[in-house]
């Protein structure tokens, strides 16, 4: 279902197909959080751990989006703002943790990074295809699309980092990717918060 060009008629998620899509991506992201967090701990990869936490954050984000469907524009904007702030906090945690690990000596296991990164990419590409026709809705709907898009980009970066770790036998590609992912997350958090604030003000004028 597409969205109208006007802000007053933006798709708000009130559709059985969209709700079914959300349930599907909730299941995908919840499962991948468990898989990727375990793999990140076993491999010593900061990038995998960061991506796993992002899967967890997305699972909670999608659940909140599902709950907000049918509520007032102000409620949906508030939910989107909460998701944006949560994403910003997660991004700052990833950034701080990555900087801390620059002073460590552990080199992550490249094969594990590569295989799990590829599995996560498949999961996120599936999620993107499930959600792509719903990407132009209000801030609540758009935040779901941005999360899925970011995850797919992040997974490609993790796979690239695994390749570089294998070649260089260095921890730095893993940490650089984690820093870059956190920067992308911060950018998306700002987009979500900005749109949500505009919708909150717009609803208050009526």
Q: Which residues of 4-41 are buried (b: 16+ CB within 10 A; e: fewer)?
A: eeeeeebbbbeeeebeebbeebbebbbebbebbbebbe
Q: How far is residue 54's CA from residue 47's CA, in Å, rounded to a whole number?
A: 10
CATH number at residue 128: 1.20.1510.10
Q: Please, what are the averages of pLDDT over each run of 10 residues along the chain (206 residues)?
A: 36 70 90 91 83 79 75 74 81 80 78 92 86 66 67 82 91 86 80 80 63
| Whole-number Å distance between alpha carbons of 29 and 20 | 14
Whole-angstrom distance, CA of residue 18 vs CA of residue 24: 10
**Rg value, the chain, Cα:** 18
Asked if the structure places residue 2 within a domain, the reply is no
Task: Please tell me the predicted confidence (pLDDT) of residue 9.
Answer: 42
- For residue 6, being part of any structural domain is answered with no
pLDDT of residue 158: 86
> Is 28 part of any domain?
yes
pLDDT of the residue at 116: 93
29, 53 Cβ separation under 8 angstroms: no
User: Has residue 124 been placed in a domain?
Assistant: yes
Say if 60 falls within a structural domain.
yes
Structural contact between residues 178 and 97, judged by C-beta atoms closer than 8 angstroms: yes
Question: Is residue 102, in this structure, part of any structural domain at all?
Answer: yes
Q: Does residue 26 sit within a domain?
A: yes
Rounded (10°) CA dihedral 126, 131, 133, 139 = -150
Determine the Cα–Cα distance for residues 20 and 123; give it in Å rounded to an integer: 17
Can you say how many angstroms the Cα of residue 149 is from the centroid of all Cα atoms in its chain?
7
Rounded to two decimals, the pTM is 0.68
Query: Could you give the number of structural domains in the chain?
Result: 1
- Residue 105: φ, ψ to 5°: -120, -5
Give the structural domain span for 19. 12-204
């Amino acid at each position: 279902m597409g969205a109208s060009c006007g802000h007053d008629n933006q798709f708000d998620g009130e559709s059985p197909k969209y709700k079914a899509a959300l349930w599907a991506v909730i299941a995908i992201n919840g499962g991948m959080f468990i898989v990727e967090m375990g793999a990140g701990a076993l491999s010593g990869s900061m990038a995998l751990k960061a991506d796993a936490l992002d899967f967890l954050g997305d699972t909670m984000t999608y659940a909140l989006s599902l709950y907000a469907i049918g509520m007032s524009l102000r409620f949906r904007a508030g939910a989107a703002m909460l998701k944006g702030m949560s994403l910003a906090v997660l991004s700052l945690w990833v950034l701080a943790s990555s900087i801390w690990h620059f002073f460590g000596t552990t080199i992550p296991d490249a094969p594990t990074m590569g295989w799990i990164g590829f599995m996560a990419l498949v999961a996120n590409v599936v999620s993107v295809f499930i959600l792509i026709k719903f990407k132009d809705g209000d801030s609540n709907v758009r935040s779901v699309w941005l999360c899925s898009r970011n995850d797919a980009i992040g997974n490609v970066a993790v796979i690239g980092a695994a390749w570089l770790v294998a070649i260089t036998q260095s921890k730095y590609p893993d940490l650089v990717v984690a820093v870059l992912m956190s920067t992308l997350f911060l950018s998306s958090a700002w987009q979500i918060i900005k749109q949500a604030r505009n919708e909150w003000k717009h609803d208050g004028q009526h």
